[in-house]
Amino acid sequence: MDVILNLLIYTFTTGSIYCIIALGFSLVFGVAEILNLMHGVYYMISGYFVYTYYIAFNNMAIAVALAILSTTVFGALSYVVVHPVLESPFKTLLSTFAVGGAVSEILFLVYGVTTYGLPNLLPGGFMILNTPVIKQAILAAGVALFIFVCFTVFLSRSDTGRAMRAVAQNEEIAKLSGIDINTVKFTTIMIAAFLSSVAGTLYLPLQSLNPGVWMKITVLSFVIVVLGGMGSLGGLLMSSYIIAFTEYATTLSFAEGSYIKTGVYLLIMVVILMFRPQGLFGKYLGPLEVQV
C-alpha cells in the first residue's frame, strides 16, 4: 500500500514537471521543426544559475527569479546557432548537440563533477497515510500544472499563440498571411527555455545537479513527445505521467533499475513508433513523414 501511494505521488509530481519540459521540446519541434538536442541544457543550466545566484544573494526567491530570467535570455541566444542551418535537419541536430556538449563541458570545467544539492524554496514536508510528501515537490507540480493550463490558453487565444499554431500547420501559408516566421521561431525557442527553467529551478532541488543531466532530459523529452503524439497537449500530459510511472516502477522492481530505466522507455518508444507512428494520442500525422 505504501509503495503504491509512493509511486502515485512520484508519478504526479515528476510527471507534471516532465510535462512542461516536454511541452517546450514539442513546441520547438512542431513550430520550428528543430529537433533540439540541447533542450536538456536549459533545464540543467537553470539549476546552475540558481546555485550561483543563491551564493551571491543568499535568498532563494531572488535566485529563482533571476535564474528563470537568465535561462530565457540563454534560450534566446541559442537561436543564433540554429538559425543558419534551419533548412537541413541533420545539421541542426549536429549544431545543437555540439552546443549542448560544449555548454556541459564549460559547466564541468567551472563547477567540476561535484553533484550539487540546491536548497528548497519551501522546506519541510508532511505525511499522507504514513507516506512522506515533500512540500517542494507539491509546489513544483502545482506551478507546473498552472503554467501548463496558462500556456494552453495562451496558445489558443493570443495572437502570438495563433501565429505559432499557424506556422506549425503550414509555414508557406503562414508566411503569405503576413506572419514573420523568424520571429515566431525565435519566440518559440525562448518560451521553451522559459518552461524548462521553471521546471529546473523548482524541481532540481529534489534531484542531483551535475553536467551530465542534459542528455537524460533531452532523451526523456523526445520520448514523451513521440509517445504523446504531435499536436495533442492532453496526450503530452498523459504520456508524461506514463513515462514518470514507468521510470519509477522500473527503479523499484529491478536491482539495476536506475541504470536501465532509459533503455526501458526508449524501447517503449521504438515499439510505439513501429505500430502507431502518430503516437498514442495523436490524431493527425502532422510533420511526421511516414512513407507508405
| Residues at the site binding another protein, with contacts judged by CB under 8 A | 29, 33, 35, 81, 84-85, 89-91, 93-95, 97-99, 101-102, 105-106, 109, 215, 219, 222, 226, 254, 256, 259-260, 262-264, 266-267, 269-270, 273-274, 277, 287-291
| Least separation in angstroms between CB 255 and another protein | 9
Q: How far apart are CA 260 and CA 240, in angstroms?
A: 18
Which of 55/292 has CB closer to another protein?
292
Amino acid at site 24: G
| Contact yes or no for 71/42 (Cβ under 8 A) | yes
Which of 75/100 has CB closer to another protein?
100
Which of 205/235 has CB closer to another protein?
235
| Contact yes or no for 17/144 (Cβ under 8 A) | yes
Strand pairing of 125-128 and 131-134? antiparallel
Query: In angstroms, what CA-CA distances link 104 with 114, 209, 211, 227?
Result: 13, 12, 5, 27
Amino acid at site 130: N
Q: What is the DSSP letter of 129?
A: T
Which of 209/269 has CB closer to another protein?
269
| Least separation in angstroms between CB 39 and another protein | 13
| Least separation in angstroms between CB 90 and another protein | 4
| Least separation in angstroms between CB 250 and another protein | 10
Q: How far apart are CA 245 and CA 181, in angstroms?
A: 38
Q: Where are the beta strands (DSSP E) in 74-182?
A: 125-128, 131-134
Query: If DSSP codes are grouped into helix, strand and coil, which group holds residue 1?
Result: coil
Q: Tell me the backbone φ, ψ of residue 291, rounded to 5 degrees.
A: -85, 140
| Least separation in angstroms between CB 287 and another protein | 8
Which of 146/259 has CB closer to another protein?
259
Which of 22/35 has CB closer to another protein?
35
Residue 267 belongs to what H/E stretch? helix 257-275
| Least separation in angstroms between CB 103 and another protein | 9
